[in-house]
């Protein structure tokens, strides 16, 4: 058992060294729309689009329209990664995972915009085949024409350095995060018993191989540190039916409340700061939001952002 794991570690480390040459690609390959830390706006204020009272798909359409359409993020021929939260073996109405309607619709939009491929994965907490199937995401993505990728295949993770990380100096990161042209982070908003809440930043724990390292090192700092490696092209938060207690796994639909909201921003810190308010927290109380702002990953003061509040009611 131990020797096999060690073998894998050595193998992945060796692979990481070999792939150092490719590291430049992570940033070089990012599309123009995502190259800047925030979307260009008057006074260079970061933009947060908040939509409410529509279906998830309709709210996504509305948010994207406000940001210049899907074409502002996906160019024809590009490879797209969508990273939803697919952590738990639970049906969509439990709110434990991103809703399949949202993931399926985004997959469709990317392909319609000419994406070469759309891949979806998560390093799940529960058994992965069951989780992919029972979350409804596998069916939705396949129907839309995307690929579900095995997140439990150690050979798909490469060890990379995180030079700006405070506690997290290296991580084994899924190759799709390192190599995809476009990277959509599509979390669901939930209470979290350890991190207090989980939204955009916490969702990216699901692209690293060894989550226990985060927990063993400093959960809140490592969550923030990872964002210094690669920020998603766009973050889209499913806050339709957020889980407000017993998170992140939840026990029943009773743990969720109906908010019918969707947030979108290129700034993961800003989106999490607004999301904290939905759960009734001051953003600074959520430690990883505060730490990420200190690392200048994004803006935690919603008042200093351009917030576009849209309603479909």
The nearest distance, CB 266 to another protein, in angstroms, is 17
How is residue 49 annotated by DSSP? Answer: E
Q: 35 or 253, CB closer to another protein?
A: 253
- Determine the Cα–Cα distance for residues 90 and 52; give it in Å rounded to an integer: 25
102 binds another protein (CB under 8 A): no
55 binds another protein (CB under 8 A): no
Q: 132 or 183, CB closer to another protein?
A: 132
User: Scanning residues 12 to 31, which ones bind another protein (CB under 8 A)?
Assistant: none
Count of residues in the chain: 313
**Among the listed residues 23, 72, 213, 312, the single contact to another protein using CB under 8 A:** 213
Residue 234's alpha-carbon distances to 183, 209, 298, in angstroms, are 7, 22, 13
Tokens of 153: 């295949």
The nearest distance, CB 234 to another protein, in angstroms, is 19
User: Scanning residues 177 to 196, which ones bind another protein (CB under 8 A)?
Assistant: 192-196
The nearest distance, CB 246 to another protein, in angstroms, is 6
Q: 33 or 262, CB closer to another protein?
A: 262
202 binds another protein (CB under 8 A): no
Tell me: cis bond preceding 160? Omega within 30 of 0 counts. Answer: no
* Selected range binding another protein among 37-45, 58-66, 101-109, 240-248, rule: CB under 8 A: 240-248
- Determine the Cα–Cα distance for residues 286 and 189; give it in Å rounded to an integer: 13
Q: 34 or 223, CB closer to another protein?
A: 223
220 binds another protein (CB under 8 A): yes
CA dihedral 70, 137, 255, 208 (to 10 degrees): -80
How is residue 131 annotated by DSSP? Answer: H
Characterize the bridge pairing of strands 261-265 and 47-52: antiparallel
Q: 195 or 204, CB closer to another protein?
A: 195
- Determine the Cα–Cα distance for residues 266 and 94; give it in Å rounded to an integer: 27
52 binds another protein (CB under 8 A): yes
Are the CB atoms for 176 and 210 separated by under 8 Å? no
306 binds another protein (CB under 8 A): no
CA-nearest of 266, 304, 272 to 288 is 272
Name, in order, each residue with C-beta under 8 angstroms of 27's C-beta and a sequence gap of 6 or more: 230
* Selected range binding another protein among 31-39, 67-75, 175-183, 272-280, rule: CB under 8 A: 272-280
Are the CB atoms for 222 and 168 separated by under 8 Å? yes
Tokens of 101: 């309607």
248 binds another protein (CB under 8 A): yes
- Determine the Cα–Cα distance for residues 63 and 70; give it in Å rounded to an integer: 10
Place of tokens 């990012």: 30
Q: 56 or 241, CB closer to another protein?
A: 241
Count, residues near another protein per rule CB under 8 A: 58
**Among the listed residues 25, 169, 277, 304, the single contact to another protein using CB under 8 A:** 277
**Interface contacts to another protein, rule CB under 8 A:** 1, 50, 52, 89-90, 125-127, 129-130, 134, 147, 150, 152-155, 192-196, 211-213, 215-221, 244-246, 248-249, 251-252, 254-259, 261, 273-274, 277-280, 285, 287, 302, 307, 309, 311
């Amino acid at each position: 058992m131990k020797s096999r794991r060690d073998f894998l570690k050595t193998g992945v480390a060796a692979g990481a060294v070999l792939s150092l040459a490719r590291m430049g690609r992570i940033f070089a390959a990012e599309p123009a729309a995502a190259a800047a830390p925030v979307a260009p706006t008057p006074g260079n204020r970061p933009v947060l689009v908040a939509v409410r009272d529509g279906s998830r798909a309709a709210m996504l359409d509305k948010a994207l329209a406000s940001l210049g359409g899907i074409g502002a993020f996906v160019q024809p021929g590009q490879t797209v990664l969508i990273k939803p939260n697919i952590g738990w073996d639970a049906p969509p109405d439990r709110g434990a995972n991103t809703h399949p309607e949202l993931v399926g619709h985004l997959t469709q939009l990317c392909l319609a915009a000419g994406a070469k491929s759309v891949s979806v994965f998560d390093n799940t907490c529960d058994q992965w085949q069951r989780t992919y199937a029972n979350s409804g995401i596998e069916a939705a993505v396949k129907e839309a024409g995307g690929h579900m990728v095995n997140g439990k295949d150690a050979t798909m993770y490469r060890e990379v350095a995180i030079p700006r990380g405070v506690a997290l100096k290296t991580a084994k990161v899924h190759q799709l995060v390192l190599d995809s042209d476009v990277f959509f982070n599509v979390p669901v908003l939930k209470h979290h018993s350890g991190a207090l809440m989980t939204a955009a930043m916490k969702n990216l724990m699901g692209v690293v191989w060894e989550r226990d390292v985060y927990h063993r090192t400093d959960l809140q700092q490592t969550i923030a540190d990872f964002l210094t490696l690669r920020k998603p092209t766009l973050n889209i938060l499913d806050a339709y039916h957020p889980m407000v207690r017993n998170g992140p796994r939840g026990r029943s639909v009773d743990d969720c409340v109906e908010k019918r909201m969707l947030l979108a921003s290129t700034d993961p810190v800003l989106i999490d700061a607004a999301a904290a308010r939905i759960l009734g927290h001051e953003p600074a109380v959520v430690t990883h939001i505060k730490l990420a702002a200190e690392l200048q990953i994004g803006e935690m003061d919603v008042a200093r952002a351009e917030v576009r509040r849209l309603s479909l009611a």
